[in-house]
Chains A and B, each alone.
Chain A
Amino acid sequence: MSDAHPAKEIAGSSPTEPLVEVSHLSRFYGPLQAVKDVSFAIRSGEVLGFLGPNGAGKTTTMQILSGNLAPSAGTVRIAGHDMLADPRAAKRQIGYLPEQPPLYRELTVDEFLDYCAALNRIPRPARRDAREAAKDKCGLRDSGRRLIGNLSKGYQQRVGIAQAIIHLPPLVVLDEPTVGLDPIQIREIRALIRELGKTHGVILSTHILPEVQAVCDHVQIINRGELVLNESITGLERHLKSASLTIAFHHPPAVATLESLPGVTSIKTESEGRLHVFHDIERNPTESIIRLAAEQGWGLYEIRPGRLSLEQLFVELTTDDAAAQDTGT
C-alpha cells in the first residue's frame, strides 16, 4: 500500500519539482469572473500566505485547489497529478480545511477522525496510529471521546485541522483557519501551522496581515481575482523598506537645519519633537543626524528606519489599480 503514504513518495521526488502548479486559473460565476488568470507554484516545506480583501477570490481559489470547484479555465497540478484528469490521485495529496470546518457534530472526535482516515484510504490497521498522531499534533489528545458538537470553536477548528492532516498529505490547504478564535487559540493555531510548514507544503488563506508575517515564507496578494503580488517574505521586506527615518527629539532643532543635511529630501513633522525625514536611498543621513544631535544637545531619544507596514502595502496594492500593475509583474 505505497499509496497510503503519499508524504513519503513526495519526499523521494526531486526537490525542484513544485508541489502545486497552478497555471492560468480562471473561474466564472455567471458573468462574474471571480478568479482571473492566476498562476503560481509552491514547493514542499513552504508556507504560502494567500492574502486578499473579502470577496477577492481567495476562497474560490482554495476550493479549486481542493477539487471542490472546477475551474472555468486553467490547470491545477498537485504533486504531478492533474486535478481534473486524475482527481483521485490529486486529492490524495491534499488536506483541506474550508472556511467553516466540515464536522459532523453528532460524532465524537475519534469517530470522526477514523471516518476521515477511512475516506482518505488509510489502510485499516494504520488508522488508529494516524488518528492518534493527528490528535497529538493538534493538541486533541484528551478530547478523543468528546462529541464534536460540544467542543468550543477553537477545538472544533483543531479537529478541522486534524482532519486535514490525518493522511499526511504533502499539501495542506487552510482557508482562514484562525477566524473567530481568541488570541491564545490564534497563537496556538499559528504555531501549529508553522510546525506543519516544516514537513508539508501549506497554503494559508487569510485577510489578517500579521498572520502572514508571522507564519509564511511566501506571500501572494489577490485582489478582484488577480494576483497583484507574489513574493517571498525576504522579497517582501524589500518592498516594505522605504527611504525614511522616524526621529524624536526632546529639544528639536529648526526644520531647516535638518533639511540642509546631505541626502535629506523632505521633512514631515508628526507632533512636537517627532518627525519623519525622507532621504535619498543612496545617502542615508542617520549618522550625521546622530552626530549633530550629540554635538548640539537636541536630546535625541528615538531614531529608526521607517517601514511600510504590510498593511500599507496591502492597501496600496488592493486599492490602487495602477500601483497594482506596477508591482504585480
Chain B
Amino acid sequence: MIATIALRELRTMFLSPLAWTVLAVVQLILGFLFLANVEIYQVYQPQLLALEQAPGVTEVVVPDLFGNAAVVLLLVVPLLTMRLIAEERRNRTLPLLMSAPVSMTEIVLGKYVGVLLFLLTVLVLVGLMPLSLLIGGGLDFGLLASALLGLALLLASFTAVGLFMSTLTQHPTVAAIATFGALLLFYILDWSGQGASSGNLLAYFSLFNHYKPFLEGIFSTTDAIYHVLLSTTFVVLSIRRLDADRLGA
C-alpha cells in the first residue's frame, strides 16, 4: 500500500512540469559546477604531480560537487515536499486516503517514499557526473560511494522535515518557507560558537557537520544514525500530526 501511494506521488510529480524543471535546473547548475571543478583539476594537475601524496581527481572534484549539490537541493527539496499534505488538504482530497482502508502510517510513509524515489533520480544523475570521468581515467570508488550515501541520507533528512512542515498547514508556500527555514537553520547551526571548544552542542546538531565526513570518505555510523534518527523523528511527528487532525478540535 505504501508503494501504491508512493508511485502515485511520483507520477503526479512527473505529470506536472515541476519534476522536469527541478531535474533540468539541478542538472544544469551542478553540471556547470562539476565542469568548473574538473577545469581546476586540469589547471593544477602539473603542480599536483610534483607532490608526494597528491590528491586524485576524485578528491578534488567529488567533495566540492556534493557539497554544492547539498546546498542546491536544500533549496529544491522544500519545493518538492511542500505539496505533499498541504495541497491535499487544500484541495480536500485527504478524505480519499482517510476513508480508504489504509493506516495513517502507510499514508505518510507512502508520501515520504514517493519523494525519496524522485530524489533518488536526482542522486543518480549527480552520481553520473563523476562517473563520466571514467572515460579518461580512474576513480576512487570508495570516496564516491561514501559521498553518494551521505547525500542520500541528507536528502532523507531534508524530505522528512519538509513532509512534517507540509502536515502543519494547508498552504504549500507556507510549508515550503518553513521547511527552507528549518533546513537552513539546521545546516548553519555550527556557525555559532565557532571559536568554542570541541564540545559545542549546537555544532553537534548541525546537519552539515554530519554530512561533511561522508565527503571526506569517512563513513561513521554516528553520522548515519544522526540522519536516520532525524528522518524517523519527523516522519513520526507527521503521522501524529495527521492523526491529531482526525481527533482534532
**Which residues of A are at the interface with B, using a C-beta cutoff of 8 A?**
28-30, 63, 66-70, 87-89, 91-92, 94-96, 98, 100, 102-107, 115-116, 118-121, 163
- In the assembled complex, the CB of A88 is this many whole angstroms from the nearest CB of chain B, namely 5
Q: Are B95 and A102 in contact (CB under 8 A)?
A: yes
Q: Which residue of B lies closest to A115 (CB)?
A: B8
- In the assembled complex, the CB of B193 is this many whole angstroms from the nearest CB of chain A, namely 43
Name the interface residues of B99-150: CB closer than 8 Å to any CB of A. Answer: 99-103
Most buried by A among B1, B102, B103: B102
Q: Are B247 and A70 in contact (CB under 8 A)?
A: yes
**A95–B101 alpha-carbon span in the complex (Å):** 10
Q: Are B97 and A119 in contact (CB under 8 A)?
A: yes
19 pairs of residues in contact across A and B, judged by CB atoms under 8 Å = A29-B249, A30-B249, A87-B103, A88-B102, A88-B103, A91-B99, A92-B101, A94-B99, A102-B96, A105-B91, A106-B16, A107-B15, A115-B8, A116-B100, A118-B1, A119-B96, A119-B97, A119-B101, A163-B96
**A89–B100 alpha-carbon span in the complex (Å):** 10
What are the residues of chain B within 8 A of A115 when measuring CB–CB? 4, 8
Partner of B99, one of A30, A68, A106: A68
What are the residues of chain B within 8 A of A92 when measuring CB–CB? 101
The yes or no answer to B12 lying at the interface (CB within 8 A) is yes
Assuming the A-B contacts A30-B249, A100-B92, A103-B93, are A68 and B98 also in contact, with contact meaning beta carbons closer than 8 angstroms in the complex? yes
- Given contacts A87-B103, A89-B101, A120-B100, list 20 more A-B pairs with CB under 8 A: A29-B249, A30-B249, A63-B95, A66-B99, A69-B246, A88-B101, A94-B99, A96-B99, A98-B95, A102-B92, A102-B93, A102-B94, A102-B95, A104-B12, A106-B15, A106-B16, A118-B1, A120-B101, A121-B101, A163-B96
- In the assembled complex, the CB of A26 is this many whole angstroms from the nearest CB of chain B, namely 13
Assuming the A-B contacts A106-B12, A106-B16, A118-B4, are A67 and B97 also in contact, with contact meaning beta carbons closer than 8 angstroms in the complex? no
**A25–B213 alpha-carbon span in the complex (Å):** 57
What are the residues of chain A within 8 A of B16 when measuring CB–CB? 106
Assuming the A-B contacts A98-B95, A119-B4, A121-B1, are A28 and B101 also in contact, with contact meaning beta carbons closer than 8 angstroms in the complex? no
**A87–B243 alpha-carbon span in the complex (Å):** 13
**A63–B245 alpha-carbon span in the complex (Å):** 12
**A67–B1 alpha-carbon span in the complex (Å):** 18
What are the residues of chain B within 8 A of A103 when measuring CB–CB? 93
Partner of A104, one of B93, B95, B246: B93
Partner of A70, one of B12, B15, B95, B246: B246
What are the residues of chain A within 8 A of B5 when measuring CB–CB? 119
- In the assembled complex, the CB of A123 is this many whole angstroms from the nearest CB of chain B, namely 12
Q: Which residue of B lies closest to A100 (CB)?
A: B92
Q: Are B246 and A98 in contact (CB under 8 A)?
A: no
What are the residues of chain A within 8 A of B101 when measuring CB–CB? 87-89, 91-92, 119-121
- In the assembled complex, the CB of A202 is this many whole angstroms from the nearest CB of chain B, namely 15
What are the residues of chain B within 8 A of A105 when measuring CB–CB? 91
Q: Are B92 and A98 in contact (CB under 8 A)?
A: yes
**A87–B101 alpha-carbon span in the complex (Å):** 7
Most buried by A among B12, B16, B93, B101: B101
Q: Which residue of A lies closest to B98 (CB)?
A: A68
What are the residues of chain B within 8 A of A120 when measuring CB–CB? 100-101
Partner of B100, one of A63, A69, A91: A91
- Residue interface bits B1-39, CB-to-A below 8 A is 1, else 0: 100110010001001100000000000000000000000
Assuming the A-B contacts A29-B249, A30-B249, A106-B12, are A119 and B95 also in contact, with contact meaning beta carbons closer than 8 angstroms in the complex? no
What are the residues of chain A within 8 A of B1 when measuring CB–CB? 118-119, 121
Q: Which residue of A lies closest to B95 (CB)?
A: A98
**A29–B93 alpha-carbon span in the complex (Å):** 22
- In the assembled complex, the CB of A171 is this many whole angstroms from the nearest CB of chain B, namely 11
Most buried by B among A105, A115, A119, A120: A119
What are the residues of chain B within 8 A of A94 when measuring CB–CB? 99
**A119–B246 alpha-carbon span in the complex (Å):** 19
**A87–B100 alpha-carbon span in the complex (Å):** 10
**A103–B96 alpha-carbon span in the complex (Å):** 8
**A177–B23 alpha-carbon span in the complex (Å):** 41
**A121–B222 alpha-carbon span in the complex (Å):** 40
**A105–B92 alpha-carbon span in the complex (Å):** 12
